[in-house]
Amino acid sequence: MGRQNDINFLKAAGVLVSVIIVFASLIIYGLNDNRTPHYSPSKTAVGQEQGQGEQDNSSDESDMAVNSISELSLPELFSKVEKSVVQVANKEEAGITIGERLGSGFVYDKSGHIVTNYHVIAGGAAEGNVQITFLDGSTYNARLVGGDTFSDLAVLRLEGENIPEEKLIPLPIGDSTTLRVGEQVVAIGNPFGLSGSMTEGIISGLGRMLPSAERAEESDIIPSDLDSPTGFLIPDIIQTDAPINPGNSGGPLLNTQGEVIGINTAIFSTTGASAGVGFAIPSNTIKKVIPSLITTGNYQHPYLGIVGTDITPEIAEALGLPEARGFLVTDVSNGSPAQKAGIRGGTSLPTNIAGRGIAMGGDVILRIDENPVRKLDDVLTYLEREKKVGDTVQLTVLRNGGMESIDLTLGPRPTSLESQSQRPMGSLPPQENLPGPNQDQEQQQPPLADQLYNQCIEIAGKDICDFMFQR
């Protein structure tokens, strides 16, 4: 009997020990499991440090964290860039709220270089009459380092040896070639002299064209007759619906990471106020032009020296082309790269096509290197993005019913006076579309903006109309 009790006791003890071992194992497993870090999107988003082994297995979550950190809210974005955006004004206008030569700019580097539009400082900068004002009200004199009318860009440099280093916070320059229509953007500047103003919108369009600021008194309001420019063109322009007004010119257009993807340059308006159509010079043009302006004071744009018009359905029908694509050369500038390469202009008297007098018989440019050409924009955008003076391009042209390839070495774009002397008699400026059918009649009337300005004076008086129209 006693032996049986001993056996039963040992069995019970064994079961108890087994239960204890199993329970202890579960506790130890649980403790080890708690030591293994678990990652949630919220923890990853705030940048918590993770073990290397776990990072290798959670690359998707890491990518989400990077995107979350790089995307700034609008208040965060403004706080990040506000100290880098400045007001640009002539000295005599620095103390007034509204002025013709009042614009914006931003800090480019730690050396005190300020980037703005050329038309903002035209005239005053040459005489050393420019002042830069930061958001906190501190003001410094600045001198012109370099300017380029063809891209409407200029570089100023702050003068003085006691400029605090914390004032010079450069803005990063983004990549405008990756932009897509619909992306959110922010414009910061000094509309109507109201410093530190921010507006937001989206990218409404890409690859637009604007007339360059070849005239020193160029305005930041684009006239209503955009189809009839009167000089060289700026390609690859960004269009935005972010409200831009006079005084915003020269200020940055930013993405939601706080990178400069353009410089606010002009608005399309008949009243002088924002109509939801604003334009900005792309950041990749800034990357090419600004370093040259700093080192040499100028920038040489690659140049062909052709005059003509885009192929329309009417022109394509007249030429017997299967589709409306390409650029018809009607004239070639004297001594230009195009003339030296043997590009041919129109050989016949102007033909009336849809009310336009067009010299037919010239080359039709269909490709530049490996890039198809549907219109002049394609040529100019390719040259500005990818080429420089001295580079050779191959033009594929349609001539006398056959295809020919012509090598052309790009030259520097001439100034307005030089282009006048190179221009064939009676032709338009190089690389410019021909006028519309009613241009002669339109030129006999005042521009639409002037007509509206005069009507405004009759209704509201000169003072308020001068303000609205920036007269």
DSSP 55: H
**Tens digit of pLDDT for each residue in 449-460?**
666 656 655 555
Helix (H, G, I), strand (E, B), or coil: what is residue 171?
coil
How confident is the model at residue 27, as a pLDDT? 45
How confident is the model at residue 423, as a pLDDT? 52
**Tens digit of pLDDT for each residue in 211-261?**
876 644 444 544 433 343 446 888 899 999 998 888 889 999 999 999 999
- Is the distance from CB of 141 to CB of 94 less than 8 angstroms? no
Judged against a pLDDT cut of 80, whether residue 308 lies above it is answered with yes
How confident is the model at residue 34, as a pLDDT? 41
Residue with the bigger pLDDT between 128 and 234: it is 234
pTM score, whole prediction: 0.69
DSSP 173: B
Q: Name the band, by pLDDT with cuts 50, 70 and 90, for residue 97.
A: very low
What are residue 164's phi and psi, to 5 degrees?
-55, 140
As a whole number of angstroms, the distance between CA 204 and CA 194 comes to 25
Judged against a pLDDT cut of 60, whether residue 40 lies above it is answered with no
Helix (H, G, I), strand (E, B), or coil: what is residue 34?
helix
Which residues sit opposite 211 in a β-bridge?
233
Active site residue ranges: 119, 152, 249
Helices (H), 216-319: 283-296, 313-319
How confident is the model at residue 56, as a pLDDT? 39
Residue with the bigger pLDDT between 160 and 375: it is 375
How confident is the model at residue 402, as a pLDDT? 92
What percent of the chain shows pLDDT beyond 90? 46
Average pLDDT over residues 434-448: 41
Direct distance between the N- and C-terminal alpha carbons of the chain, in angstroms, rounded to an integer: 121
Helix (H, G, I), strand (E, B), or coil: what is residue 16?
helix
**Tens digit of pLDDT for each residue in 321-377?**
999 999 999 999 999 999 999 999 998 778 888 888 888 999 999 999 999 999 999
Q: Which two tokens stand for residue 30?
A: 């649980």
Mean pLDDT of the chain: 76
As a whole number of angstroms, the distance between CA 264 and CA 203 comes to 12
Average pLDDT over residues 50-70: 41
